[in-house]
Amino acid sequence: MLDELGEDHPIDRLRRLGVALSVNTDARGPTDLTLADEYERLHKTFGWGADEFAAANRNALAVAFIPAETRQRLLERFA
């Protein structure tokens, strides 16, 4: 969707408004889209860097269906 909407995609506006969001490839089956592709598009389109991607990963971990110990260990990587 980011490739279709470009700068009109709401993800960066929502991030700047403080909405907790994550980046994923929810259409992975029907497309060849990868997380690396999405990161590259976000970087090129909105200038996202390490801080924005780490925040998105922390948000994803906060709601992930994983054991608390695993969550904590992974969150430490994105501190």
Domain encompassing residue 47 = 2-77
pLDDT at 49: 96
* 76, containing H or E segment: helix 68-77
Q: What domain count does the chain have?
A: 1
pLDDT score at 60:
93
Ramachandran region, residue 6 (left: φ > 0; alpha: ψ -120 to 50; beta: rest): left
- The per-residue pLDDT for 79 is 74
Q: How many CB atoms lie within 10 A of CB 5?
A: 11
Show pLDDT as tens, one digit a residue, over the chain (79 residues): 666 678 888 999 999 999 999 998 876 667 778 889 899 999 999 999 999 999 999 999 999 999 999 999 999 887 7
How much is the pLDDT for 78? 77
